[in-house]
Structure 1
């Protein structure tokens, strides 16, 4: 490969003189492993040819190809294998950390840092560093390095932005479900082709997504071994329900216990730091949930080293987050009021932006100035990739390329760290297209998806409707009752009054063991008491730790940005922290005695 292309993990790529490919894809029913994909791209001589090959593929892959001073690069539709580049220097790599090392003292952008803290990822093609860019989901790059200064061109070869109305308004709900099932079967046939007789391992929860995967593997009678496992704190509803699902499907099941004290040891150990070296690319906090369980199961020999891990990331999750305000103008059959999809209707755009802020920018309070900056970024990242004026389309496009691709679909870094292959059947492009064909009202709250999974599971496992509908969320009367009560209050005039009272109650009563996974155990007890509030999940605390602003072992909080984020507070606390200004997670920031540094407030 040319000198301006650097692969930090060369053993995972199939490489030639000018072409490097990772992953597997399908075209016209034929499977192309990385060697075959390499041959597909090796003869490409133009951007048009490069795009043509990309649009023919369905799968999970990344490619870098150099032709006469121009580097072509692309990620798949889910950005499942990330790539990064520096527009000014013209370098491309699978590691943003390597790109940073080639640059002259890059600095962190305060707005991007604030977004990372409150959303846990940086949106668009940006990273924490303005001089380092990421290839977005379904994006191709043409980086011309032949001139005095590099020139950059990017475009999308795949987008996901289903409209509020159904693709085929005349189709009945049952016909749409049948088409969805056809797409699901095709996706799992591709999954089985990738597995090719190897053991398949399903991280099984008490929810619907992993249940769908396990049910489909049984339905299609996969020839190889299928294993399931669940992790969590003892007595967790997830554990109880998942064990019963595995038993109903006749699949082997293993439980990995999580405790708060376990999390402290795991998170503050050298193995987790090694994982972050690969997974933390200044774009999003690394996915961590299943990381300890995989390591434990490999260490004791239960998990085969040649297994294919098939986790439950799903395109249907986007429908599960469609906010009610965006659905107000959409009828059950998918009809939409004309004013709701008018590109000139500022109210529709504002509703979309507010919905994203309310749903995803939730980890930290911030100033109005930052909210305005975030709103502008939200509008910018969906420009050109969604139906103009349709807020449900804009919302789906935003979540596809941000939360889903950058955070959830980065799960692959976990399995790669432990030396395992992975595949995401529920984010298959065919499944995404079939799911997007439903009207927004059918996608909201994953309604049709839930019906589909319950019916499939009841049929394959031969259980009654009550058992098919059982999940971790409704497994106990107390949990179900609390959920119903919170939902009722949220939709009532009492919401504004009740919300701060509930948060205060949670802050006082929660401990490091809170939650079914016990994530908050990453902090020592005294530091937990100083930093935890109900508004902040473990994601927020992991984000501020990843930036090097705090540490948990030994504890320090020298870069703590305060209770309300602002650009001034971030700049001031970063300057006080020295190396953090240019190097998130800098090891040269010495711990202090654990005293919480509280910056002064500003506008």
Structure 2
């Protein structure tokens, strides 16, 4: 008989009713916000996979649900798998948990999944349903599973970010529709907050600023904005936005924090276990800021964090960088391996290995019929959201529940993403439609549009990035490292320096060709994961 062991209850708790366990929040087909028993009520009559798949098509939010039935367990996760579940085979079923470490405990031998290490070290996540533990598997974004007690399983994806057709409407008409959609997004956000303090990680960009202006436009008063690192252009803009809207602004200066012994801090190590979960790089940039504010009581215990994930991506900020086709004969797995797996230089064997793993991913991929664009690869974009954004970008929001707080993702709202799914790439390129609507409908009316001071990317910037990437292998390592530190306003060099020292002390030598501080974090995390497999159980 399959066994269920759920251990993480910070921020959002598992709620159990009879044979159903639920965690998170959900919007029903009518856009009503539901949590706890209200959310469980949606699943009470579900008795098979088809009924669950049908229900999931109409739901939105951040949640996971487990339904135990006779001889099987049904599992469903939201379109980003925000509360991922892990499962490993038992003699008579499956061990199911929200912890990869727990899921691996009853295996005859817990071993490192060496096949996944190259992709993890170069991109910060494990591709597909595997983890860094062999025979421990993970739910995928937008997935329904049936785990049978006889050891068999069925997996089916219900969510794809693919256009059924592209809109033929004029930009002015699309602008009007986007304004209406954003009003609906705002209404649903306000209803879900229920008067609790809204905390905005406010950068210098447009997504978090949109959330702040939505709150201001709705006369929501209990708002705190914060940013972190060391003073830079983004923090200057962040402060101007908060002050312009009349919201308090907190700056957590990382130069003032004592980080010299953080690798020995049980809180930090627990965070890495919980948020990394043998699948994703534990994101560090907000950890120290949220910990600082939490320990000093700077925000209420029931506050809700509202990050800007992932308005700019949905609106088109990455289409020129990652999904524009270079030529008609482009081979998708090889292009993805080259564009997405670049935290450090890949060896030839690693490139071949990662490409092969991506080939396997796409061989299992069965998307519905969609409208294509000759210049942009819609299937790479769908892969990007299912893999990198689910496991790397959205997973970073795990820092908020870790410290006991809830979150909301208004810019991953179903209506918002469904709208942009049909917007022609000519209006998504460089966020043309999105930025114009935000500036005219939200920022200028509230006095937080700053013209030439904005940190907007333009075509010339992309060409310079591509040139720097081409020249990178020819630049000496010490020069690359110096440039990384010069641009490091988040102080990554400080805490990755401690990681490098720990690895060096243990005889682990980092490879050459480090292009990003994340590579150091990934190598350190693989080391810690390997150490866990060697502990007595």
Distance 1:406 1:41 in 2: 26
1:232, distance to aligned residue in structure 2 (A): 1.2
Structure 1 residue aligned with 2:61: 59
SS of equivalent to 1:101: coil
1:66, distance to aligned residue in structure 2 (A): 0.8
- Quickly say closer, same or farther: Cα 1:130–1:244, change in 2 above 3 A: same
Structure 2 matches for 1:400-479, cutoff 5 A? 400-463=385-448, 467-468=450-451, 470-472=453-455
- Quickly say closer, same or farther: Cα 1:177–1:354, change in 2 above 3 A: farther
* Contact residue 200 and residue 223 of structure 2 kept, 8 A: yes
* Pairing partner for 1:535 from 478, 499, 514: 514
* Contact residue 200 and residue 307 of structure 2 kept, 8 A: yes
Distance 2:490 2:513 in 1: 16
Structure 2 residue aligned with 1:204: 202
- Quickly say closer, same or farther: Cα 1:366–1:504, change in 2 above 3 A: closer
Structure 2 matches for 1:40-189, cutoff 5 A? 40-87=42-89, 89-145=93-149, 149-162=150-163, 167-168=166-167, 170-189=168-187
* Contact residue 321 and residue 462 of structure 2 kept, 8 A: no
Give 5+ residue unaligned stretches, structure 2.
none
- Quickly say closer, same or farther: Cα 1:408–1:508, change in 2 above 3 A: closer
Distance 1:38 1:72 in 2: 14
Give 5+ residue unaligned stretches, structure 1.
330-339, 475-479, 550-578, 589-603
Distance 2:410 2:455 in 1: 22
Structure 1 residue aligned with 2:383: 398
SS of equivalent to 1:365: coil
SS of equivalent to 1:5: strand
Distance 1:201 1:516 in 2: 22
Structure 1 residue aligned with 2:25: 24
Distance 1:152 1:373 in 2: 27
1:473, distance to aligned residue in structure 2 (A): 6.6
Structure 2 residue aligned with 1:191: 189
SS of equivalent to 2:453: coil
1:363, distance to aligned residue in structure 2 (A): 1.6
Structure 1 residue aligned with 2:8: 9
- Quickly say closer, same or farther: Cα 1:386–1:397, change in 2 above 3 A: farther
- Quickly say closer, same or farther: Cα 1:35–1:325, change in 2 above 3 A: closer
Distance 1:396 1:263 in 2: 37
* Contact residue 19 and residue 38 of structure 1 kept, 8 A: yes
Structure 2 matches for 1:580-599, cutoff 5 A? 580=530, 583=532
Structure 2 residue aligned with 1:569: none
SS of equivalent to 1:140: strand
* Contact residue 73 and residue 140 of structure 1 kept, 8 A: yes
Distance 1:267 1:469 in 2: 41
Structure 1 residue aligned with 2:366: 384
Distance 2:46 2:352 in 1: 43
Distance 1:499 1:95 in 2: 38
1:444, distance to aligned residue in structure 2 (A): 2.9
Distance 1:275 1:13 in 2: 19
* Contact residue 316 and residue 435 of structure 1 kept, 8 A: no
- Quickly say closer, same or farther: Cα 1:353–1:448, change in 2 above 3 A: farther
Q: Over the residues paired in the alignment, what is the CA RMSD in angstroms?
A: 3.0
SS of equivalent to 1:547: helix
Pairing 1:290–2:286 present = yes
- Quickly say closer, same or farther: Cα 1:87–1:427, change in 2 above 3 A: farther
Distance 2:25 2:322 in 1: 39
- Quickly say closer, same or farther: Cα 1:77–1:209, change in 2 above 3 A: same
* Contact residue 378 and residue 398 of structure 1 kept, 8 A: no
1:3, distance to aligned residue in structure 2 (A): 5.7
* Contact residue 229 and residue 256 of structure 1 kept, 8 A: yes
Structure 2 residue aligned with 1:278: 274
Pairing 1:516–2:465 present = no
Pairing 1:231–2:211 present = no
1:264-284 superposed Cα distances (whole Å, 9 cap, x missing partner): 444442221121232121111
1:384, distance to aligned residue in structure 2 (A): 1.4
1:15-50 superposed Cα distances (whole Å, 9 cap, x missing partner): 023110011112213222121121221221111222
Larger Rg: 1
* Contact residue 279 and residue 286 of structure 1 kept, 8 A: yes
1:525, distance to aligned residue in structure 2 (A): 7.4
Count of equivalent residues: 519
- Quickly say closer, same or farther: Cα 1:46–1:523, change in 2 above 3 A: closer
Q: What TM-score does the superposition give when structure 2 sets the normalisation length?
A: 0.88
Pairing 1:302–2:298 present = yes
1:320, distance to aligned residue in structure 2 (A): 2.1
SS of equivalent to 1:259: helix
* Contact residue 513 and residue 520 of structure 1 kept, 8 A: no
1:13, distance to aligned residue in structure 2 (A): 0.9
Distance 1:37 1:371 in 2: 44
Distance 1:532 1:367 in 2: 10
Distance 1:511 1:490 in 2: 14
1:175, distance to aligned residue in structure 2 (A): 1.8
- Quickly say closer, same or farther: Cα 1:17–1:240, change in 2 above 3 A: same
- Quickly say closer, same or farther: Cα 1:540–1:511, change in 2 above 3 A: closer
Distance 1:111 1:323 in 2: 31
* Contact residue 88 and residue 103 of structure 2 kept, 8 A: yes
Pairing 1:253–2:238 present = no
1:366-395 superposed Cα distances (whole Å, 9 cap, x missing partner): 333332232233244342136577652111
* Contact residue 89 and residue 107 of structure 2 kept, 8 A: no
- Quickly say closer, same or farther: Cα 1:419–1:60, change in 2 above 3 A: same
Q: What TM-score does the superposition give when structure 1 sets the normalisation length?
A: 0.79
1:571-603 superposed Cα distances (whole Å, 9 cap, x missing partner): xxxxxxxx93x736x679xxxxxxxxxxxxxxx
1:123-148 superposed Cα distances (whole Å, 9 cap, x missing partner): 11111234111111110001111xxx
1:287-312 superposed Cα distances (whole Å, 9 cap, x missing partner): 22211111211222221111111011
